Amino acid sequence: MVAVESTTATNCSSSSLGTPTAKSLFESRASSPPAHAEDTEYPDGGSSAWLTVFGTVLALFCCGQLTAFGAFQTWYAANQLHDLPASTISWIGSLQLWLLYFSGGILGRIFDAYGPRVILIPGSALLVFSTMIMSVCKKYYQFLLVQGLLTGLSYGMLRIPPGQRKSTILLDASVVRDTPFILLITGCLLINFGLFIPFVYLADYSIYRGVSSGTSFYIISAMNAGSIFGRIAPSFLADYIGRFNIAIPSTLLMGVLALCFWMFARSLVAIIFFAILYGCFSGAFLAMQIPCIAQISKIEEVGTRIGILYSVASFG
């Protein structure tokens, strides 16, 4: 998921120098050059850059639980946690997502100060450990601790934002006095209040509408398939028409689908169609968060600002 976001964030800092775009009010703001440009190199192309992309893809290949928790929700409700209501089971996925986002503020600063290895290596080990332990969990508190707490933290460690390495992990208060930045993270917080609801409950909703439990899992797969297109195609288009010009209409259409289309989707075909469209536009929004931050930030502040965005959005 973040492979596309990270790649586009790199592209946006370079494309703003030479590519003519249709820019919104946010995007008309020029990024200032790094304070220590002579000490920092950001590969854009070549083996180093593409190896970074490849490594990110491998890491995130194991992070599919984030947008597929609906499958776990349905399985737990029918098996290990059948005596609990759906709202209680969903706290497992909620805790996982909260830790993923909230840890960004802390991990982003650690990354800026010490680099990626001190986070990626233990994060990878923790993800392997928690995934193995999750297979033997039987009680609700065990799933909360393992899938919610440990897996959520490991995902946060694998999703560390890019940025310039600094000598301190203390937060520069000036980054929270930037009006466009404050407006952006406020919008992301509000969007996150409803963003992941279909990912968690769509499988249960399809069963309520008469779809078999076996087929309901494929609905989550259809949503994630739509998300693949939504993360890739709009990201390339954003380099030409603007990052905010992709994020804003995608968010609007995502809300319209959830409020208007979902409530009238009663057949299997209609539910799958909704899943694909919602996955596409939600994927576009998720893919545009980091490029939008990079568009209005100095390059040395990108890691810190993305961490702040994730931490604030975690309460949505």
The CATH number of the domain holding residue 94 is 1.20.1250.20
Instruction: Give the pLDDT of residue 113.
Output: 76
pLDDT digits (tens, 9 = 90+) for 179-207: 899 999 999 999 988 898 898 889 889 99
Instruction: Give the pLDDT of residue 32.
Output: 44
Q: Does 300 map to a domain?
A: yes
Mean pLDDT (whole number) for 22-33 = 47
pLDDT digits (tens, 9 = 90+) for 240-251: 999 999 999 999
Distance CA 101, CA 105 (A): 8
SS3 string of 105-173? HHHHHHHHHHCCHHHHHHHHHHHHHHHHHHCCCCCHHHHHHHHHHHHHHHHHHHCCCCCCCCCCCCCCH
Residue of 7, 13, 192 whose CA lies nearest to 98: 192
pLDDT digits (tens, 9 = 90+) for 274-303: 999 999 999 999 989 989 998 898 877 777
Instruction: Give the pLDDT of residue 60.
Output: 73
Evaluate if pTM is beyond 0.85. no
Q: Does 38 map to a domain?
A: no
Calculate the average pLDDT of the chain.
Answer: 80
Q: Does 37 map to a domain?
A: no
Instruction: Give the pLDDT of residue 30.
Output: 40
Give the count of beta carbons closer than 10 Å to the beta carbon of residue 260.
9
Number of separate domains in the chain: 1
Q: Does 22 map to a domain?
A: no
Distance CA 316, CA 170 (A): 25
The least confident of 6-10, 171-175, 208-212 is 6-10
- Domain extent for 66: 2-11+46-313
Instruction: Give the pLDDT of residue 299.
Output: 78
